[in-house]
Structures are given as structure tokens and as C-alpha cells.
Amino acid sequence: DAGVIQSPRHEVTEMGQEVTLRCKPISGHDYLFWYRQTMMRGLELLIYFNNNVPIDDSGMPEDRFSAKMPNASFSTLKIQPSEPRDSAVYFCASRDRGELFFGEGSRLTVL
Amino acid sequence: AQSVTQPDIHITVSEGASLELRCNYSYGATPYLFWYVQSPGQGLQLLLKYFSGDTLVQGIKGFEAEFKRSQSSFNLRKPSVHWSDAAEYFCVLGNQGGKLIFGQGTELSVKP
């Protein structure tokens, strides 16, 4: 298996623009997690899904953030409008029997 | 409340020296516990995990961790550190509901 695949790996955008991050989990994994990592706040859980259903979105910082999982093989995290303080590395992870498998992350820079 | 505490933000050890990274958790039931490592610019990789059974678990790269229920701890150890072990290490608590809670991380530097 190719592992968890995230795209884009790097994105630079201007404040106010819409950003969409994508994730393809490992086939057969029933949990999917979105994390954000910054120097100041470390790793923060934003939202996670079980069988495509959002279970806990309490970590989503604001209404500007939204996440979807239309099917078992695809998820998106959208920020609209983006702000400079959203600059971070966003990780997607899928889970199998307790173990998280992480993607390589999407590094977002909002100017 | 469920939480994970890694008391040491940054540790420096000499190459060849032993290492212990501390982790304390708070959880009312039997926890699932993990240690992950993140090299600079990379994603996170699982070192080892504890679900039940033997309280001393062996992981990859020569790491081990010991679960101590009485102390609510899950410290990570390695008898001899290599320069390639320099990275950030995360202790993670998993609850029954599927949520995984990360500690703040401990950054390890290795002196030649």
C-alpha cells in the first residue's frame, strides 16, 4: 500500500483565498484524522471521522474551517477565507487497530 | 479529564549515552499508549505501542517503553543513542472512543 497520501505538499496563498487540502487514507482503515502542527501550539487534533462520519470536530478552530469525507478513500479540509495565522503543517492520518499512519503533511503558508 | 504530559520540552544527550523520555497520562480506564517519532520535515512514525499484556514493550530502532499503571507513566528508553535518533518524540494516549491525544512532544538533540 502507498500509505496515506496528502496533497498538495506545499501551498503558498494570499490572505482571503480558499485553501483545500486533500487526503487519501490507507484502504480499509475506518478512522481518519486531521491534525495541525505549529511551533507555538504543537500538534492539534482538528477533526476525526469514523466510517466517513465526523465524530469530533471540537478542534476545528473557526467556522472558516470545514472538513468532509464523501467516501472511504477521500477527505478534504477546507479553509475559507484563509488568514496568515492558519500557516502550519496539516497532517492527515488513518487508523488501523489503534495505530495511526500519517501522511507526509501539507505545509500551508498564508501571506 | 484525558491528557498526556511530556515534562521535558528539550533533551540533549551524548551519542552512545542512554536515553529516557518521560510521559505521564491521565485517563480513567485502561489506556492505549503509543510513542511516535518525527524527524525534521517529515511525518510521524510509530515507534511502539501498548494495548495490554506485557508492560515492557519493544519497538523499532532499539527503543522500548514501560507501562506503569501505579505511576500513570509510559516512559521511552534506549540504552545507547545514535546521532540519527535526533528528532521530536510524541507520547500519545488513545481512548476507547477512538480519539488519540498527543503530548506536547520532546525534542531530542544528540551531541557527538
Among chain A residues, CA nearest to B43: A104
Q: Which residues of B54-77 are buried (b: 16+ CB within 10 A; e: fewer)?
A: eeebebeeebbbbbeeeeebbbbe
CB nearest to B49's CB, from A50, A93, A98: A98
* Pairing outcome for strands B106-111 and B87-94: antiparallel
Confidence band (pLDDT; 50, 70, 90) for A108? very high
The predicted structure's pLDDT at residue B107: 96
Which of the residue ranges A15-24, A27-36, B60-69, B97-106 would you say has the lowest mean pLDDT? B97-106
The predicted structure's pLDDT at residue A71: 95
The predicted structure's pLDDT at residue A1: 64
- Average per-residue pLDDT for chain B: 92
* Pairing outcome for strands A5-7 and A106-110: unpaired
Cβ B44–A42 below 8 Å, yes or no? Answer: no
CA distance B28 to B76: 22
Mean pLDDT of B67-83: 96
pLDDT reading at A6 higher than 90: yes
For chain A positions 2-41, those within 8 Å of chain B (CB to CB) are 31, 33, 35
The predicted structure's pLDDT at residue B53: 85
Cβ B43–A104 below 8 Å, yes or no? Answer: yes
CA distance A18 to B4: 34
pLDDT reading at B78 higher than 90: yes
Sign of CA dihedral B5, B48, B81, B18: positive
Cβ A99–B34 below 8 Å, yes or no? Answer: yes
CA distance A36 to B37: 16
**B60 backbone dihedrals φ, ψ, rounded to 5°:** -80, 165
Mean pLDDT of A52-71: 94
The predicted structure's pLDDT at residue B36: 95
The predicted structure's pLDDT at residue A68: 97
pLDDT reading at A39 higher than 90: no
DSSP-assigned beta bridge partners for residue B21: B76
The predicted structure's pLDDT at residue A66: 97
